[in-house]
Chains A and B, each alone.
Chain A
Amino acid sequence: MRHAVPADDIAVSVRNVSKTYGDVQALKDLTLDFPRGQLTSLLGPSGCGKTTLLKIIAGLLPANSGQILVNGQTVAGPGPDRAFVFQDFALLPWATVIRNVAFGLELRGLARSEREAIAEKYIREVGLAGFEQKYPHQLSGGMRQRVGLARALSVNAQVLLLDEPFSAVDEQTRRKFQEDLLELVKHEKKTFIFVTHSIEEAVYVSDQIAILLPRPSRVHEIIRPSNFRDKGVDNIRRDPEYLDIVDGIWASLRSYVE
């Protein structure tokens, strides 16, 4: 199931990365490529180091050894080429929706009118038009994550890092999010790196799924679903390939679930 991808089409490349917390080996000699313009899921049981890997790519955690390349450049810390979407949204509770969405641009020193114009565009894009002046506590969990998503989009980073972004929202909102995410990947021409613990979610939204296994943490398998992506959002969940992949992943993860 592995397809070769030309080297210049790799947006993010993880090379031999190791990370330990004290005595615990979180990641061991991990190598993984993320194709440009596609969505790659990091999937695995809890403790497999998927969030650790995402935070190392984001530059929030230092790796003990190894290299992270974004567009061929080694990265050592956070940078404008990557934006992060947090599991718990990480919104400023004292700021309105528009200020939250524009916060990344505010930190870059853009003038207020300029950054709010951009923010308004992305607020519309995630479907929150009319909520610009609301505060996070006035929004539902799903809407808060839309704010987090709009904030990440508005800084126009080529790589979007999503850390279990839909795990704190209800199931129906989650399904809507997954459909919207597919649209977003198609239209935004960005590279998405998506951490999830849901097998169905990973198979549903991903162009490429990296299965990580713990003890020691490593890439077990890379799966690239081929033929159900273009059949429309309504048909994916009953496509035979979708079902086979879900079953296959469960078979390999089953023994790691306590």
Chain B
Amino acid sequence: MTLFGYKLPALSSLILWALLWEFVGQAELTFFVPPFSEVLLTLFGMLPTPSFLNALATTAWAFSMGVFFALVIGIPVGILMGKSRIVDELLLPWVNIFISAPLTALVPVLMVLFGFGTRTVIITTSLFAIWIIILNARTGVKQINRSLVEMAHCFGASPLDAFFKVYFWAALPEILGGVRIGVIRAVKGVIIGQLLISIVGFGALFELYSSKFLMAEFWAVLVVLFGLAFTLSEFLAYLERKVAYYATTR
């Protein structure tokens, strides 16, 4: 973006919002918003503490496992739905129900089914991420050029070859788009899991700081969380751009 002929650096809008935040905080309008500088100082003080690092590790673990399962189940299921009419008709109603369902309301059911441990947090995280991943992989496969499929068939591709050498790659731009959105939803899922199921990790920190009105700490954790989610999402967007060259010419 350019303003008055000057090229603005990336993320400059964030700087503007940080300044506004600082101003509101300094004006002491509400205890809920401490100045941004205070939040940053708290953040840097908090980063090396064992309690924060442990929380980060716990959350990162549950998050990665949740995303991992969402990927290894979601992508093949989506591709199968795109390929096979029967699988599609069987599963599509469920996918559509769960993608719009308030999953938070399902968490108590999951707790009854799977207990109060990390396992349930992981399942919650997967459930938040998986539906959009399935739906996007399905869309990716659905719009594959018919003649690419015929080509693979013609040159003797086995079903496995067709899956890994044609369908997967042809659907990759859509799959990556789904993964990016899914990962962002997984961040929500893991925090909700750690708030509602077992009070550990970042969920426990949020719980602790908000119940004791430690707003600087509360915001600091939120900033860290935002930073991590933003970095992940930007990395996936970068991968998407790497395959964009063929997204238009399939």
Contacts and interface: CB of A to CB of B under 8 A. Distances in A.
B169 A92 contact: yes
A108 B166 CA distance: 15
Contacts of B245: 93, 135, 137
Given A93-B246, A93-B249, A88 B147 contact: yes
Nearest to B169: A94
Given A104-B155, A136-B249, A137-B249, A86 B147 contact: yes
Given A107-B161, A135-B245, A137-B245, A90 B147 contact: yes
B243 interface: yes
Contacts of A83: 154-155
Contacts of A94: 169, 172, 243, 246
Main DSSP-derived SS at the A contact region: loop
Contact of A60 (B150, B157, B172, B243): B150
A84 interface: yes
B53 interface: no
Interface in A76-103: 78-80, 82-84, 86-88, 90, 92-94, 103
Given A78-B156, A108-B156, A84 B246 contact: no
Contact of B148 (A84, A92, A104, A108): A92
Contacts of B165: 92, 103, 106-107
B150 A86 contact: yes
Closest 10 CB pairs of A and B: A93-B246, A90-B151, A104-B155, A90-B147, A84-B154, A86-B147, A78-B154, A94-B169, A107-B157, A137-B249
Interface of A: 55, 58-60, 78-80, 82-84, 86-88, 90, 92-94, 103-104, 106-108, 135-137, 151, 155
Interface of B: 145, 147-148, 150-158, 161, 165-166, 169, 172, 243, 245-246, 249-250
14 contacts: A60-B154, A78-B156, A84-B150, A84-B154, A86-B151, A88-B147, A92-B169, A94-B169, A103-B155, A107-B161, A108-B156, A135-B246, A137-B245, A155-B155
